[in-house]
């Protein structure tokens, strides 16, 4: 049986340590700030997260670009040359062209490497929701699943991936064209926070709003109570945040207090996704009976 590699992209927002422990390959997307193109690598070598969020808070604009076909070819070819197959778990196709680029690269390489198996899966996920899927997939690979068995497992788990978010900076959503100016001003004055989730198609969808950040964070935890697969205490829960450690502490405290969760894996939203969310965003990820 041929060995295989799990490949993903940097929208996964996994830390350098998580990438190393999971044994996955991460293909960097790029972001542009102050006219300089930078790669979004797990070690954030080309711009620290602190510098990035300081710049965002200062009002600097950041643009992003999806991985193109050539980027995928460059990282896939050495794996195939080493005689290994590839299972690629890509950023949601509803949010980026990254998945489509992976599919095109895979099709081209299947012709050049007819003995190889290249499986590309649309995660329908973002940030540490995508990380949660990749993390558990790596665990299943370590248990001995074949590439086909793991691909089936990943596809079965995707409809149970719950992604719940709230956003602190409504003006950032306004600047990105995701909220009109009147709603942003009114929401800011009244401290209105949106409750959003990633739906069955991988799209980011608003589903409600509350007043105040703590109420918004509590609402995310309430969703785990409503949808989470029991026992909740057994879940490995993932959190992403845009430089708001106090919000992480608050949510983590609720998870421990209400559900007895002990395995909480929180980390930063990277520059590619952070450029669209702004500072202060927090996402909670868990497995549920439905999305």
- Condensed to tens digits (0 to 9), the pLDDT of residues 109-154 reads 999 999 999 999 999 999 999 999 999 999 999 999 999 999 999 9
Are residue 240 and residue 151 in the same domain, yes or no? no
Are residue 219 and residue 123 in the same domain, yes or no? no
Torsion of CA 146, 130, 81, 38, to 10 degrees: -170
Query: Regarding beta strands 85-90 and 236-241, do their DSSP bridges make them parallel or antiparallel, or are they unpaired?
Result: unpaired
Whether the pLDDT of residue 284 is over 90: the answer is yes
* pLDDT computed for residue 172 by the predictor: 52
Whether the pLDDT of residue 256 is over 70: the answer is yes
Domain interval for residue 247 = 160-287
Report the predicted TM-score, pTM, of the whole model to 2 decimal places. Answer: 0.93
Mean pLDDT of the region 226-251: 97
Whether the pLDDT of residue 179 is over 80: the answer is no
What are 31-83's pLDDT values in tens digits? 999 999 999 999 999 999 999 999 999 989 899 988 899 999 999 999 999 99
Are residue 247 and residue 147 in the same domain, yes or no? no
Are residue 43 and residue 176 in the same domain, yes or no? no
- CATH number for the domain spanning 196: value is 3.30.1180.10
219 torsion bin: left (phi>0), alpha (psi -120 to 50), beta (else): alpha
Whether the pLDDT of residue 180 is over 70: the answer is no
Whether the pLDDT of residue 3 is over 60: the answer is yes
* pLDDT computed for residue 175 by the predictor: 53
Are residue 32 and residue 114 in the same domain, yes or no? yes
Gap between the Cα atoms of 40 and 197, Å rounded: 24
Are residue 11 and residue 152 in the same domain, yes or no? yes
Domain boundary (101, 131, 157) is at 157
Are residue 153 and residue 164 in the same domain, yes or no? no
Are residue 215 and residue 235 in the same domain, yes or no? yes
Domain boundary (157, 182, 201) is at 157
Query: What is the SS3 assignment for 8?
Result: strand
Of the pLDDT bands very low, low, confident and very high (cuts 50, 70, 90), residue 181 is very low
Query: What is the SS3 assignment for 263?
Result: strand
Q: For tokens 């996704």, what's the residue?
A: 273
Are residue 196 and residue 253 in the same domain, yes or no? yes
**Angle, helix 245-259 to helix 213-227, in steps of 10 degrees:** 40
CB-count burial class (<10 Å; 0-12, 13-18, 19+) for 114: exposed
How many domains does the chain divide into?
2
* pLDDT computed for residue 170 by the predictor: 58
């Amino acid at each position: 049986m041929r060995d295989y590699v799990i490949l993903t992209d940097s929208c996964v927002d996994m830390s350098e340590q998580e990438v190393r422990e999971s044994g996955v390959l991460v293909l960097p997307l790029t972001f542009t700030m102050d006219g300089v193109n930078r790669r979004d690598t797990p070690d954030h070598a080309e711009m620290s997260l602190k510098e990035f969020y300081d710049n965002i808070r200062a009002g600097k604009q950041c643009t992003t670009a999806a991985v193109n076909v050539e980027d995928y070819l460059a990282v896939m070819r050495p794996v195939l040359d080493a005689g290994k197959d590839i299972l690629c778990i890509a950023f949601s196709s509803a949010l980026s062209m990254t998945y489509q680029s992976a599919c095109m690269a895979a099709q081209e390489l299947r012709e050049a490497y007819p003995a190889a198996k290249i499986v590309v899966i649309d995660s329908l996920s973002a940030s540490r929701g995508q990380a949660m899927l990749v993390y558990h997939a790596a665990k299943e690979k370590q248990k001995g699943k074949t590439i086909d068995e793991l691909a089936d497992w990943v596809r079965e788990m995707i409809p149970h991936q719950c992604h719940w978010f709230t956003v602190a900076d409504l003006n950032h959503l306004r600047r990105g064209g995701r909220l009109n100016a009147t709603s942003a001003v009114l929401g800011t004055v009244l401290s209105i926070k949106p409750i959003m989730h990633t739906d069955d198609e991988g799209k980011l969808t608003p589903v409600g709003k509350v007043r105040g950040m703590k109420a918004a964070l509590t609402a995310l935890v309430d969703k785990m109570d409503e949808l989470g697969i029991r026992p909740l205490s057994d879940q490995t829960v993932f959190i992403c945040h845009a430089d708001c450690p106090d919000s992480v502490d608050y949510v983590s405290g609720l998870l421990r207090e209400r559900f007895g969760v002990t395995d909480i894996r929180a980390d930063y939203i990277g520059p590619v996704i952070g450029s669209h969310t702004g500072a202060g965003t927090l996402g909670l990820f868990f497995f549920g009976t439905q999305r």
